[in-house]
Amino acid sequence: MSQIDELAERVERLLLRHDELSRTNALLREQVAALTGERDNLRSRLNAARARIDVLLERLPRDTPAADASAAQRETP
């Protein structure tokens, strides 16, 4: 095989490898985009859940001296 034939074969292999890597890269970019969207959605849901918990915590009664005394009475045997 001549040097030109060997070089042409190597160039063909490099071109095939480049195509493979380009396709793989495109697939990975799609996965990153999908995962980024999923992450953003989960963050949004987490923030909404935190906001709901904060609202529920605000609705809880504040500790009062009478409530503390009745709780202490329940704890003593």
Please give the pLDDT value at position 69: 62
Please give the pLDDT value at position 63: 81
| Torsion sign across C-alpha atoms 57, 61, 62, 66 | negative
Q: What pLDDT digit, counting tens, does each position of 4-57 carry?
A: 999 999 999 999 999 999 999 999 999 999 999 999 999 999 999 999 999 999
Give dist(CA 41, CA 35) in Å, integer: 10
Please give the pLDDT value at position 15: 98
Structure token pair of residue 29: 């970019």
Examine the pLDDT at 59 and tell me if it is beyond 80: yes
Please give the pLDDT value at position 74: 65
Regarding predicted confidence, which is higher, 21 or 1? 21
